[in-house]
Amino acid sequence: MAQELRRGDRPVGRVVELFAGVGGFRLGLEAAGWEVIWANQWEPSTRRQHAFECYISHFGSGVHVNEDIDKVLDEIDAGRREPIPDHDLLVGGYPCQDYSVARTLSQAAGIEGKKGVLWWSIYRILEDKRPRLVFLENVDRLLKSPASQRGRDFAIMLACLSDLGYLVEWRVVNAADYGFPQRRRRVFIVAHHLAGADPAWAGPVPWLYEEGVLARALPVRPADDGVVVRLDGTDVPDLVLKGHPARLTQEFGRGAAGTPFLTGGVMWERRVWTRPVEPAYEGPRRVLGDVLVPTEEVPDRFFIPPEQLPTWEYLKGAKREPRRAKNGHVYFYTEGAIPFPDPLDQPSRTILTGEGGATPSRFKHVVRCEDGRYRRLTPVELERLNGFPDGWTDTGMYDGRRAFMMGNALVVGLVERVGHVLREAMDASRSAALAVWMARA
């Protein structure tokens, strides 16, 4: 077995972090006892690498790489760079992209994804390293993308992970459902490498509701009282992913009205079980008002001039307006209202990357102060909504860029909760591996 890293007397699992951003994954995992030994962060569209600068300002330079991950892996394959170190857990939050397989069916001996699509960088590392655990985060749109073939991209991911020997569980998680002060909705994906062995489980549905990492970290119950839930392992799969990923690229979901992938699920050997689930959380809860700084500490630039308020109210209000298309066709543009100001006794809406800046916007948060003035949220308040320490992004970035980083970040506390259960899963895996080794000795 690989040598254990230790922090004091406590064993620590080794983590490789991809698409690291400003370090939300690392903050949550280190709080759960993990050790990040290699990380990659690269912003292709900007000259100044603000996220990476923020990351190393808190964690040191270490073995953290600020280059295009595709280029890094190409250089490793060519022998021009040291390989990524062995690790127990691979993590990353990455964009929802087109994951289709570029290789044609006539060339289907291998898998070749489109260049620059970040999922295929993850795949290359998994193919080479086979870490015991994988923890990925994405927007929940992943489960139904693309619009022309609902669920195809996620089906390709699942098929690839299955072919590499992974059991996969996923869950759509709203952070506010587990007590956090932001309604941030994401899909979490956890994969367990079983090295050719069958999983030690009572069945896929018990894994979804009781035994899996996500079930233990973020408890759920059936969302529909009419759903039949068998806990004896006899459930037949809801679908089976057949064919090479190139075939899935061409055929999966074609003509379907919706995605087959629901808010929770398990996949093993390309067999998929998926159910609608809802949170089963009874703990403490925080709201937007809990993260606000005192009004007297808010810089003047965050207050909205009174003459701008009608514009803000219009943008956030309901609309049904006639508009004319380029071809002359007249149609009605409609949208619902967004609360204005944002209620302080509820979790906030999701932070978006366009949160920063003083320009009136439909989607930026606005709160009303005790003195009747209206203002936008400060960078510190945005950091608090994601669970970062105050001033985390105050590393040479301007306000709008700090807001952009929080729009791209994840909720640190959710990662910590999952990280603790991942540690338990890794320890159980080690114990099982040791038992096998001792039986063979």
| Residue whose token pair is 């603790």 | 420
| Of residues 13, 17, 80, the one with CA closest to residue 52 | 17
92-139 pLDDT, tens digit per residue, is 998 778 778 876 544 545 677 776 689 999 999 999 999 999 999 999
Region 5-283+410-440: CATH code: 3.40.50.150
CA dist 97 and 117 (Å) reads: 7
pLDDT at 1 over 90: no
| Of residues 25, 5, 55, the one with CA closest to residue 416 | 25
Query: What does residue 266 show for φ and ψ, rounded to 5 degrees?
Result: -140, 140
CA dist 19 and 94 (Å) reads: 6
Mean pLDDT on 282-288: 96
Supply the pLDDT for residue 438. Answer: 35
144-175 pLDDT, tens digit per residue, is 999 899 999 999 999 999 999 999 999 999 99
Catalytic residue among 54, 96, 160, 369: 96
CA dist 364 and 207 (Å) reads: 39
Query: pLDDT averaged over the chain?
Result: 89
Question: Could you confirm whether 369 is annotated as catalytic?
Answer: no
CA dist 98 and 148 (Å) reads: 12
Q: Measuring CA to CA, how many Å separate 23 from each of 57, 359, 416?
A: 10, 28, 13
329 Cβ neighbours under 8 A, 6+ residues apart: none
| Residue whose token pair is 């999701």 | 350
Domain ranges of the chain: 5-283+410-440, 293-343+352-378
CA dist 261 and 266 (Å) reads: 10
pTM: 0.91
